[in-house]
Homo-oligomer: A and B are copies of this chain.
């Protein structure tokens, strides 16, 4: 069984890995498609994501879909051949955060393709994968597995929207128009946002934002660094914002155009350490600045929205590479002028 394994900075290999038997409650799946995420890029280019360094070989990947190969003892409702959306989160279900309904903050999480714990939590760019049965959501046989491999990033966007509170009738700013930013724009419109303005430093994703992801306006902050300011007059200011770029400058720009009492959701990952925040303004204008980390129950909704076509994720897909060309794909995926989202075709037979 082949997998894309990161052995350290700029050292990705297609290794052959052994299978292991299934424990009760587990399911073996054949992975069809795997999307390349920013964290995969960080592991590949820097050998680390934030503080999490690759200390042993790590299979990358957590945006996946596939088909069931085998169900372990005690598993009900999943049989070989079924197509499935695959949730990369396996929370413990029993820590204080899980019990409080916030399993994305689980202190004993196994999240696919993460060096956050030791031994590492191996990822989904592998032809065969063993999951806990609640990570495997069966879908109709007619479902498009490539779209379903975007259920995970869509779930992150939906979670960012849920962290923003009700957006019904709201004016929303989304800074950064990568996959998460674009899907957040779409999800915000779906949740009733009256206006969604997207920003980026490239024109291509901004054009896509308007054409396919529901944006009502855009600003290229590289070419027009002052353009956001035209929204700063009180009546036009934003009710809420989602920071999806991971850029401290983008974050700073939000606080200048947010109405009093407005809410900022940080979904983009900033580097470890601190970023400057106008705390004086935050206090006197009662801004709310909150984090959004992965997803918390939104995965099934993401699957539903994709299956029903209520969110069309296809426009953000820029290309598909075979697993054997994973290195090429990782090299290309960082070029934001050309690429929004790249997929690996992990396993032709599973697609």
Contact = CB atoms under 8 A, between A and B. Distances in A.
A141 interface: no
A269 interface: yes
Nearest to A264: B289
A279 B266 contact: yes
A19 to B, nearest CB: 26
19 contacts: A93-B99, A94-B134, A99-B101, A100-B101, A100-B261, A105-B260, A105-B286, A168-B301, A169-B298, A169-B301, A191-B192, A269-B284, A272-B280, A277-B277, A283-B291, A284-B291, A288-B291, A289-B289, A289-B290
Contact of A169 (B158, B252, B280): B158
A293 B280 CA distance: 10
B270 A280 contact: yes
Contacts of A251: 279
A273 B280 contact: yes
A194 B301 contact: yes
Contacts of A169: 158, 298, 301, 304-305
A212 interface: no
A282 interface: yes
B190 A168 contact: yes
Interface of A: 50, 93-94, 97-105, 107, 134, 158, 161-163, 165-166, 168-169, 190-192, 194, 234, 248, 251-252, 260-261, 266-280, 282-293, 297-298, 301, 304-305, 308, 310
A337 B272 CA distance: 37
Number of copies: 4
A149 B325 CA distance: 60
A142 B109 CA distance: 36
A259 B50 CA distance: 20
Contacts of A107: 234, 260
A249 to B, nearest CB: 12
A282 B291 contact: yes
A162 B158 contact: no
A277 B280 contact: no
Nearest to A304: B194
Contacts of A286: 102, 104-105, 163, 290-293
Contacts of A98: 93, 99
A280 B50 contact: yes
A49 B8 CA distance: 52
A287 B277 contact: no
Given A97-B260, A166-B162, A234-B107, A278 B274 contact: yes
Contact of A276 (B100, B269, B276): B276
Contacts of A284: 50, 269, 291, 293
A292 to B, nearest CB: 7
Contacts of A287: 290-291
A267 B279 contact: no
Contacts of A275: 276-277, 279-280
Which 8 residue pairs of A and B lie closest in terms of their CB atoms, listed nearest first?
A101-B101, A274-B276, A283-B291, A169-B301, A191-B192, A277-B277, A105-B260, A286-B291
A280 B272 CA distance: 6
Contacts of A298: 169
A298 B194 CA distance: 13
Contacts of A165: 166
